[in-house]
């Protein structure tokens, strides 16, 4: 393929998989403007890297997640060094973007609590839980994040345990 064909192929894949980028940006960005900027940055990095995509070695969604999460985590680390940034907890408008707008407007309280919990995780664990909630296999999660399947299972177990602990504490205090 060359030039125009590559661009058309990329645009078709972008349209098909753009929801993944929106979900990643919604989990890592702290507001609508930052989310939009992150989506643009991820899209630009995907296009710059597209020549290196080899469909025989990885599914497009796996490759896309790897790049999107790397861009998001890098931006998150840069932001951490800027003390003026404030955390904006996930709100319903974030959940609508994350869920693609399909019935999330009436999300139950546990879903809101879950996404608020996800927002408290460090960038790697946030990526891990995002992929897990997207029903990705441990093999694919390991491939995207560059860790072993055993590490995926261990980290997910710890995240689940932390989540259960928070839910138990919230129930005990009546919150």
Other Cβ atoms within 10 Å of 162 Cβ, number: 14
Residue 82: what pLDDT?
54
Domain positions in the chain are 3-173
Q: Are 16 and 59 in contact (CB under 8 A)?
A: no
Tokens matching residue 100: 């693609």
Q: Are 104 and 96 in contact (CB under 8 A)?
A: yes
For residue 132, pLDDT over 60 is answered with yes
Look-up of token digits 């890592």: 28
How confident is the model over 77-100, as pLDDT tens digits?
A: 777 665 444 444 444 444 444 444
How far is 137 from 65, CA to CA, in rounded Å? 13
Q: Return mean pLDDT, the chain.
A: 81
pTM confidence score: 0.69
Reported as a pLDDT band with limits 50, 70 and 90, residue 138 is: very high
How far is 9 from 5, CA to CA, in rounded Å? 6
For residue 124, pLDDT over 60 is answered with yes
């Amino acid at each position: 393929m060359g030039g125009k064909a590559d661009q058309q192929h990329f645009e078709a894949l972008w349209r098909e998989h753009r929801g993944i980028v929106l979900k990643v940006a919604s989990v890592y960005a702290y507001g609508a403007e930052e989310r939009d900027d992150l989506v643009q940055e991820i899209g630009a990095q995907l296009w710059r890297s597209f020549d290196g995509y080899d469909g025989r070695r990885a599914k497009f969604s796996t490759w896309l997640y790897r790049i999107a999460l790397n861009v998001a985590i890098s931006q998150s680390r840069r932001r951490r060094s800027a003390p003026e940034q404030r955390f904006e907890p996930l709100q319903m408008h974030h959940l609508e973007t994350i869920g693609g707008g399909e019935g999330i407007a009436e999300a139950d309280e546990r879903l809101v609590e879950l996404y608020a919990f996800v927002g408290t995780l460090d960038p790697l664990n946030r990526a891990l839980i995002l992929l897990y909630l997207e029903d990705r296999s441990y093999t694919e999660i390991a491939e995207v994040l560059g860790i072993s399947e055993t590490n995926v299972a261990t980290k997910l177990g710890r995240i689940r345990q932390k989540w259960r602990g928070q839910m138990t504490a919230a129930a005990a205090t009546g919150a």
